[in-house]
Structure 1
């Protein structure tokens, strides 16, 4: 299958590292003009250079702005006013005892992980619908379905993204625009390495720490390892393509078989 996104512009939020950057690279390799997003100009500029080098193309630009704020959103929209493929990847996570999560932290997680995506969809769905073509992908998590006891607030936001995706897919019905969620399983990123160390300690090698983490905290995984960001990106690139024209309103799993359910 040859995926050609030439002539399409893709914005990937939260794409200066990890899954977001892998998605940006994948879309750029498929021929899309890619816009990298992060909060700070310096990290965005660095990520743009990395994506260009990895994808082998210069057709990559940056749009700095904190999408958890209205001001930051305006800055990103000014830098990327016209988008064919929107990937809402921005998100934060961290382990916190449930009874210690205060109101401010609940609201912070909702602002960053959910409302930032809603803002972007509101901005771009009308123009996509007018053109008769568009792709909106919201990066969710296995935590949306299997709520982790150590980060309930994170799981809540990813569950909300599934609802957001399904609802906006209905809003886009019959327009040629598709809206889907990608349920990413436990994935190997720098942030997850820190998270694993937080839970299992620093005494073991990374291979030992990963193995202990999977056995103790993610035993449902059928591949029994962390997923690589590129594996998430492969699904996103497919869903961004014309080949996925009949897939909308869905929650597509790249979770290593972690969620013990047939659906979604």
Structure 2
């Protein structure tokens, strides 16, 4: 063992020498015959040429944690994707693994390093922790429709208001979006769900379909002056008679209120 380099037949008979594992660094032909050494996996750290020949070791996947150069050569190991959880340096080198997107669920540190994976947006549905870390993904707004948990975590996405039209569940969760009132015009289903928004009365003028759905807004009578189309649709508001004084165009349109026309005329007679 102290003179290993002097024996020419060594590489063809590697399995016959018991002291080989303790002196691995002394054999020049070792890298071309890696498959012949049974003790190799327990002493992986002793071979300098290992990183350039990673594909030659069958036991590598079960001992991934023993190789320091692994992270710089991640692309050389075919079994890597099936054993992703065994590599501690993975999160800092996520961009080096081509099969990552098909096996996203196997990496525990993924959520803290979401920004490092370029294919993430095309595979958003594969990450269970995504909803709790929504703010870390820059491409999220262009792919909003791919996340089932989105509606329960709407408040975590800063770009949401500029892309409101991309979320199908939005109407059932309107109350969860703080910027909604300033962007009311971007939601097509708004008129059928008017009652779900607390800020609606202060922003009535922003909704184009309002006049055709006036009956759905409970605060309407106290804010009648904010709706420009009101006079042409007076018959749609049940509380109108008790709040007639709030509508400036009323006197020219008295004939439009059939529910209490007689009362109205008497009230306005000089």
TM-score, length-scaled by structure 2: 0.20
Tell which structure's C-alpha radius of gyration is larger.
2
- The TM-score, its normalising length taken from structure 1, stands at 0.21
The structure richer in helix per residue is: 2
Higher RCO structure (Cα 8 Å, ≥6 apart): 1
Question: Which structure's residues are more often strand, by fraction?
Answer: 1
